[in-house]
Amino acid sequence: MTANERDTTKAGLFTAVGRAVMLSCPRCGARGILDGWFKLKDNCPNCALGLRRAPEADEWFGGYFVNLMASELLMLVVVIGYVLIKWPAVPWATVEVLSVVMVLVSPVISYPFAKLLWIALELVFGERAESGT
Ligand SMILES: [Zn+2]
């Protein structure tokens, strides 16, 4: 798809979530919607999907919740993976340090993914609920 094509048809759940995980627009799949790691552009440059909402509207609460879940999952996968790789001679002091580092780093890593996942869920379920389809 070129940047000039507009695909504003509603994406299915797996398509929208897959695009969000790839840091692409959940609706059209266009890249280049991030304005830095912590900021989304106002709108998708391809399909004009609104990507930023008013913070006072509490619409990012779901995004923060998704970020919490994603960062906890990422931390668990890394720490448990490390323990399994080192088993049975696990250096537990290293596991403690790794856990603390992952608590601090994983929310930063998962931040844009969580925001886009929330937009994807809103896109699929929010519009579906409004239109009744
Ligand atoms: Zn788009």
Ligand 1 geometric centre to CA of 68 (Å) = 25
pLDDT over 90 at 77, yes or no: yes
CA of 106 to the centre of ligand 1 (A): 27
Angstrom distance (rounded) from CA 92 to CA 55: 41
| In the predicted structure, residue 29 carries a pLDDT above the cut 60 | yes
Tens digit of each residue's pLDDT (9 = 90 or more) over 34-52: 999 988 999 999 998 888 7
CA 44 to centroid of ligand 1, rounded, Å = 5
pLDDT of the residue at 127: 54
Cα(24) to centroid of ligand 1, in Å? 8
Determine the distance separating the centroid of ligand 1 and the alpha carbon of 69, expressed in angstroms: 25
Q: How many angstroms separate the alpha carbon of residue 129 from the centre of ligand 1?
A: 20
Euclidean distance between CA atoms 20 and 7, whole angstroms: 16
Phi/psi for 43 (5° steps) reads: -140, 155
Position 53 scores a pLDDT of 67
Return the minimum-mean-pLDDT range out of 5-9, 30-34, 72-76, 121-125. 5-9
Distance 47 CA to ligand 1 centre (A): 4
Helix extents (H) in 52-91 = 61-86
pLDDT of 131 reads 36
Tell me how far the alpha carbon of residue 31 lies from the centroid of ligand 1, in angstroms. 8
Give me ligand 1 centre to Cα 21, in Å: 14
Question: Ligand 1 center to residue 92 CA distance, Å?
Answer: 46
pLDDT value of residue 97: 96
Percentage of the chain lying above the pLDDT 90 cut: 46
AA identity, residue 132? G
pLDDT of residue 3: 46
Average pLDDT of span 89-109: 93
Domain boundary assignment for the chain = 13-131
Give pLDDT, residue 130.
39
Q: Which residue has the tokens 């890394």?
A: 78
Dump pLDDT digits (tens) for 104-130: 998 899 889 988 998 898 888 875 343
The CA R_g of the chain, rounded to the nearest whole Å, is 18
